[in-house]
Every structure is written in C-alpha cells, then in structure tokens.
C-alpha cells in the first residue's frame, strides 16, 4: 500500500461476504474488526484464522480481529460496512446509532428490501443514523472467489464523493476493484432484484432449457429490472453496469448462488419450505419476490417473469403452465430506453 491513510474499519456480520470484505481491508493494512453476533463463532474465527462456517479452507489475515462486542468493534471506526441479512438490518442499525462517531462512513453490502414501505438498506440507514455518511457496495461478487483472489469488480455508490474514494482506497487490491456510481437506489435495486431472476434461471436449467432460452430469460429479466427501477426513480442505465447486468449474469448462471439453487430445487419438485431448509441460509429472492410483485401491481409495472415466478411459488401454478403463458404474452420492444 502506498499513499493511503490507515483507517479503522468495522465490518458487521459474520457471513461470507462480510468476512471477504473484512479480510481485504485487513490485508491492506487497515485496523479491521469484524463483528459477529455469536461469541463462539467470533472466538473460533479469532483463534483459528478461518471462518469455518461460511468460508472453510481460506486463511484470514492475521491483522483481522473478530469480536462479538459491537460497541468495541465500532467505537473508533472511521468506516463501518454492514453485511447483515435484510431481516435483521434495521435492528443492527438501531444498535449501531448510539455507538458510532459523528460523520462515520457507513456502507451497506446487503442485497434485500425491507417490507415496510418497500425500504432499501440505504434508506434504513438514513432513517436510523442521523449523522452518518451513507453508501452502498454491490456487484457480481461471490465471497469464495474474492478470498481466493479471483479478479473481481464491484460498485460503490454514494452522492458523497469522499466516501466513494475512501472505499475505493480501502478495498483496492490486485484482484479487487471498486467502480463509482452516484445512483445508490439503482445499485441497490439491481442487487435485490436479480435474486428473483436467479430463481427462474435455476428452474430453467433443471428443466433442461437450452442456451437460447437462458439468453432470452437473462435479457428480458434485465428489461424488467430496468422498467421497475425507472418507475421507482432510479436510473435504468445503472442496470447496464456491474451492479445490474453484471450481478444478474453471475447470479443467474452459477450454483454458488443460493437463489439459483432454490430454483433448481423447486424444479426438481421440492416445496419452497423444503428447498429453503436444504440451503440452510437466507434466500433473499423469496422475500424480494413477494415485495416486488406487490409493488409492481400497485404501480402497474409490467413484469411477466416476476409474476410467473410468484404464481409458481405462492399461487399453486405449475411450471409448465406458466412457461406456456409467458410465450403467449405481450411481444414488446426489445430495448426500451435507447431513445430516451
């Protein structure tokens, strides 16, 4: 590292992505504490230098400290990354509020939506952390590949230019790069919405669909994402970047994705409950689908793929019937924003 100020970093969350981000920061020489709710897990990570639960087999930097003491983890932090499942995100933000310094940079890496008011994680932070400077990190990032030093690109989004440049300096390495974007809402929507379509492509793969079908699904998924995001005030052009089409391609083409694996299990005849239980971790796309379907109906946004998946998971429709209905649906324009 050269010409980079050493920062004090806290990463909240003991899962795979939080661990990957914390390990990059620590490897770059920053004083880094990773907070985990479970004291036993924190102790094991601290002593064994490995997150055996989520990233087994990958040695962590000796400069990374694991702790279950939230106040200790964030007390001196210049930058806090939050990598908590969306269902617990607000609770952790509320716990964080009285513990951080004024003007602390707080960056969400969580790809999900809170049910109340269709609230994204940056909006939760705005509501709960009055004096914080807020950003979002999202992109086509499997944690296992990050810690294995596979070349990876991601996006840091904020209207705060200093926050963006700070995050880029903190996490820049020979194998990890952060690209800037000012459209927080669009970047977050990309990270959340693509999980819906990963379930669909997982189903399609298991049903034996070919490359033609998958290409059509990916492209029309991107059209739906952009259409929905534009209606909510995001820039649809954001979806042409890493946080949009990049994350969509990654999540919809790999069985490292929990959402993709859920789709595969559904197509094999498993119930939603059994499929989720077998995966054993949060599958954000299921909750996101419920919320997006409700919001799309409310706003009258045409989202045939999301509606079809909702029919299969929650309304008792068969996969075959839905596939036939989709091919008989509206033949709209291919690229919707090219002349705007």
Q: What is the pLDDT along the chain (340 residues), one digit of tens a residue?
A: 444 578 999 999 999 999 999 999 999 999 999 999 999 999 999 999 999 999 999 999 999 999 999 999 999 999 999 999 999 999 999 999 999 999 999 999 999 999 889 999 999 999 999 999 999 999 999 999 999 999 999 999 999 999 999 999 999 999 999 999 999 999 999 999 999 999 999 999 999 998 998 999 999 999 999 999 999 999 999 999 999 999 999 999 999 999 999 999 999 999 999 999 999 877 889 999 999 999 999 999 999 999 999 999 999 988 877 766 566 556 666 666 654 4
Question: 41: part of which helix (H) or strand (E)?
Answer: helix 39-48
Spell out the domain ranges in the chain. 8-182, 191-327
Count CA atoms within 13 Å of residue 147 on its CB side: 23
Closest of 14, 144, 143, 7 to residue 66, by C-alpha: 14
Give the model's pLDDT for residue 283.
86
Give the model's pLDDT for residue 185.
94
Residue with tokens 């045409």: 302
Three-state secondary-structure class, residue 106:
strand
How far apart are the C-alpha atoms of 31 and 168, rounded to whole Å?
A: 16
Residue with tokens 């939230």: 70
How far apart are the C-alpha atoms of 244 and 144, rounded to whole Å?
A: 21
Contact indicator for 32, 22 with CB cutoff of 8 Å? yes
Output DSSP code: residue 244. Answer: I
Q: What is the largest CA-CA distance in the chain?
A: 60
Catalytic: 194? yes
Strands 8-12 and 79-82: parallel
Mention every residue, 6+ apart, whose C-beta is less than 8 A from residue 167: 79, 105, 107, 135, 137, 156, 178
Kindly name the residue from 7, 194, 230, 293 that is annotated as catalytic. Answer: 194
Residue 103 burial by Cβ neighbours in a 10 Å radius (0-12, 13-18, 19+) = exposed
Ramachandran angles phi, psi of 137, nearest 5°: -120, 125
How far apart are the C-alpha atoms of 283 and 31, rounded to whole Å?
A: 32
N-term to C-term CA, the chain: 43
pTM above 0.85, yes or no: yes
Q: Taking each helix axis from N to C terminus, what angle separates 211-231 and 184-206, rounded to the nearest 10 degrees?
A: 150
Distances (CA, A) of 203 to 72, 137, 260, 292, 323: 44, 28, 8, 19, 11
Three-state secondary-structure class, residue 146:
helix
CATH of 8-182, one of 3.60.40.10, 3.40.1260.10, 3.40.50.720, 3.30.930.10: 3.40.50.720
Mention every residue, 6+ apart, whose C-beta is less than 8 A from residue 288: 112, 113, 192, 193, 195, 196
In CATH, the number for domain 191-327 is: 1.10.1040.10
- Give CA angle at 204 (199, 210), nearest 5°: 140
Contact indicator for 188, 232 with CB cutoff of 8 Å? no
How far apart are the C-alpha atoms of 265 and 259, rounded to whole Å?
A: 10
Three-state secondary-structure class, residue 77:
coil
Question: 138: part of which helix (H) or strand (E)?
Answer: strand 133-138
Task: Give the count of beta carbons closer than 10 Å to the beta carbon of residue 72.
Answer: 14
């Amino acid at each position: 590292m050269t010409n980079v100020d050493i920062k004090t970093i806290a990463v909240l969350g003991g899962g795979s992505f939080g661990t990957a981000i914390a390990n990059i920061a620590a490897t770059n020489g920053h004083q880094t504490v990773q907070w985990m709710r479970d004291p036993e897990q924190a102790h094991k990570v601290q002593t064994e230098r490995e997150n055996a639960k989520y990233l087994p087999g990958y040695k962590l930097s000796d400069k990374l400290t694991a702790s279950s003491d939230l106040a200790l983890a964030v007390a001196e932090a210049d930058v806090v990354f939050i990598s908590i499942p969306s269902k617990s995100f607000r609770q952790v933000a509320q716990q964080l509020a009285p513990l951080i310094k004024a003007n602390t940079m707080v960056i969400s890496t969580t790809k999900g939506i809170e049910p109340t008011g269709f609230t994204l994680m940056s909006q939760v932070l705005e509501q709960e952390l009055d004096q914080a400077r807020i950003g979002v990190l999202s992109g086509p990032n499997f944690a296992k590949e990050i810690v294995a030093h596979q070349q990876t690109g991601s996006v840091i989004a904020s209207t705060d230019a200093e926050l963006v440049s700070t995050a880029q300096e903190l996490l820049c390495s020979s194998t990890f790069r952060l690209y800037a974007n000012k459209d927080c809402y669009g970047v977050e929507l990309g990270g959340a919405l693509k999980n819906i379509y990963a379930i669909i492509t997982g189903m399609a793969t298991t049903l034996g669909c070919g490359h033609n079908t998958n290409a059509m699904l990916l492209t029309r998924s991107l059209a739906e994402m952009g259409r929905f995001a534009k209606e909510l005030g995001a820039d649809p052009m954001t979806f042409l970047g890493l946080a949009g089409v990049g994350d969509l391609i990654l999540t919809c083409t790999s069985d490292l994705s929990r959402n993709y694996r859920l789709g595969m299990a559904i197509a094999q005849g498993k119930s939603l409950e059994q499929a989720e239980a077998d995966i054993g971790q949060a599958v954000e796309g299921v909750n996101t689908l419920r919320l997006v379907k409700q919001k799309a109906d409310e706003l009258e946004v045409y989202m045939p793929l999301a509606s079809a998946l909702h029919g299969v998971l929650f309304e008792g429709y068969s996969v075959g019937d839905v596939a036939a209905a989709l091919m008989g649906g509206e033949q709209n324009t291919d690229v919707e924003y090219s002349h705007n």
